[in-house]
Structure 1
Amino acid sequence: MSAARATVGYIAPEMISRSFDAISSKSDVYSLRMLLLEMAGGRRNADPDAENSSQAYYPSQVYRQLTRQETGEITNAIDMHELEKKLCIVGLWCIQTKSCDRPTMSVVIEMLEGGVDCLQVPPRPFFCDDGHIPAVESFHLSSEVELATISSEEEEDESISELN
């Protein structure tokens, strides 16, 4: 790959660091998830102006809503329409940190065409841990390459090392 350009929140972890996984066709599946979540909820990946930290990272908020709904603890105020729920569940499958845990594009299509009752809420994605809101920093590797890195709050003060 001679050049890569990505929008923060849409880039797969393996595009940032090879320590996550190898780049594959499932890297595109990761990017699709935010489109699905944005269509379902009408909001962006991260909201730095959110009233509280639990609302700042949208996929984390979606995961919490879905898991509360599954245990019957959801109120009418945050009740999800069937199509919204389907988009959110499929989107959360696409956000799995390891590419081997993400569905292929053909499986994503099958999931979207099938009924919501056939879908299971995926395991909690790494970046959706309670209390963990990733900080996103953009940086340039060359005039043609722009990447983003997601780090924990403790790492924010550390400098970004050069990627190879």
Structure 2
Amino acid sequence: MTKGSLDKFIRNQESQGTNCRLEWSTLFQIAVGIARGLEYLHQGCSTRIGHFDIKPHNILHDEDLLPKISDFGLAKLCQTKQSVISMLGARGTAGYIAPEVFSKTFGQVSHKSDVYSYGMMVLEMTGGRDQKLGVVETSENYFPHWIYEHLEHGKDVKLHSIVTSREEEETVRKMILVGLWCIQINPSNRPTMTNVVEMLEGSLECFQITRKPFLFSPARSDPSTQDASKSL
């Protein structure tokens, strides 16, 4: 995997004097490739495999930038196609773990838990943790909440100055909408990975904005964050 992990392509590398950013079309194809890989793990294998640690560090690329899902140390096997997966304790990486993995209050653990992790990763790929956004990572300035409000009110989604064309803007919007669908709190409201592939490869005109996929809405926002948002 000569090109390394996805993490280096979506983090801000300017402080290190390196520019590892990819074209939006390439990032989009990587997102589709990961979705197809998860679809195979969930539907294509004779034994269903739940990965339970989907994150940028575990997505590696070959010389052609084709993504490969790696690190199956936390994976769970299902001997049949049952939906519910038994689990003694939470597993995964903070920031990508589905709510039901650490508390049964939110539902049953299943392959849909990977869908949640995938959604958080796709939102990160669009720039959700980029410092240029001016979005602070706190409970009151949670990126999915910010971007949902942004889309709900029909605002522009040009998250980076490098989004220069209508085509790129539509690509980013599609990735964001898919990400928001995937991080629904109730697992039953999340799409399957087969649905995710269909959504990514389908027309943006068929998309609908999701219900709010959050545990709560922030009570207030940092004024400096609001100013940064308005300038985007």
Does TM, normalized by the shorter one, top 0.5?
yes
- Listed as ranges, the matches of 1:128-143 within 5 Å are 129-131=217-219
SS of the residue 2:108 aligns to: coil
In 1: Cα distance, 2:139 partner to 2:93 partner? 22
- Aligned residue identity for 1:58: F
Q: CA RMSD in A?
A: 3.2
The percent of aligned pairs where both chains have the same amino acid is 44
| Cα displacement (A) at 1:24 | 0.7
| Cα displacement (A) at 1:9 | 1.5
| Cα displacement (A) at 1:40 | 1.4
- Aligned residue identity for 2:118: L
- Aligned residue identity for 1:63: Y
In 1: Cα distance, 2:187 partner to 2:218 partner? 22
Q: What residue is the counterpart of 2:212 in the other structure?
A: 124
Q: What residue is the counterpart of 1:57 in the other structure?
A: 142
Q: What residue is the counterpart of 2:106 in the other structure?
A: 20
**Runs in 1 of length 4+ with deviation above 4 angstroms?**
51-54, 75-80
In terms of Rg, which structure is larger? 2
Contact 1:63–1:128 under 8 Å retained in 2: no
| Cα displacement (A) at 1:41 | 2.1
- Aligned residue identity for 2:193: M
- Listed as ranges, the matches of 1:56-75 within 5 Å are 56-69=141-154, 74=155
Aligned residues between the structures: 126
Q: What residue is the counterpart of 1:112 in the other structure?
A: 200
TM-score of the superposed pair, with normalisation by structure 1: 0.65
With over 3 angstroms needed to count, the CA separation of the structure-2 counterparts of 1:92 and 1:132, relative to structure 1, is: farther
Between 1 and 2, higher relative CO (CA 8 Å, sep ≥ 6) is seen in 1
With over 3 angstroms needed to count, the CA separation of the structure-2 counterparts of 1:39 and 1:128, relative to structure 1, is: farther
Gaps (5+ residues) in structure 2? 1-86, 222-232
| Cα displacement (A) at 1:132 | 7.6
TM-score of the superposed pair, with normalisation by structure 2: 0.47
